[in-house]
């Protein structure tokens, strides 16, 4: 199975600060079609997960451009610029290149 290693496990931030979350996979996430199926989701407290970014760097509709995703092969990063209160929650990376699909353990973004 592909292991997704997410760091840090938690982040304490001030409003307006920028943060980055790392996600590293144990295998390349490049599929046979040449695309990379690495995605980022946010789970706010008591809510279902919501996808923010798909295929490394594509923002979902309605997601502000303060969010950005970069990376390739096995090394990926989510960056949030100018954190707002509504950004708080647990961020997960997820891969759908390989079965079983797998998730990172999550990064909890909290207010400092």
Residues in touch with another protein (CB under 8 A)? 37, 39, 41, 43, 48-51, 54-55, 60, 90, 92, 94, 96, 99-106
Q: How far is CA 90 from the centre of its chain?
A: 9
| Smaller CB separation from another protein, 15 or 105 | 105
Least Å distance between CB 64 and another protein? 18
Please report how close the Cβ of residue 14 comes to another protein at its closest, in angstroms: 26
Residues 67, 12 contacting (CB under 8 angstroms): no
For residues 90 and 31, what is the distance between their CA atoms, to the nearest angstrom?
27
Q: Output 67 or 92, the one with its CB closest to another protein.
A: 92
- Taking Cα atoms as reference points, which of 62, 107, 105, 63 lies closest to residue 89? 107
The smaller minimum CB distance to another protein, of residues 56 and 80, is found at 56
Min dist. Cβ of residue 9 to another protein (A): 10
SS3 22: strand
């Amino acid at each position: 199975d592909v292991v997704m290693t997410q760091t840090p496990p938690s982040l304490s931030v001030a409003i307006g600060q920028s943060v980055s979350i790392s996600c590293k996979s144990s295998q390349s996430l490049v599929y046979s079609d040449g695309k990379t199926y690495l995605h980022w989701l946010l789970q706010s407290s008591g809510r279902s997960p919501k996808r923010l970014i798909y295929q490394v760097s594509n923002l979902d509709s309605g997601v502000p451009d303060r969010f950005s995703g970069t990376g390739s092969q096995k090394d990926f990063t989510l960056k949030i610029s100018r954190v707002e209160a509504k950004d708080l929650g647990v961020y997960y990376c997820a891969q759908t290149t390989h079965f079983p699909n797998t998730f990172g353990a999550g990064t909890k973004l909290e207010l400092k």
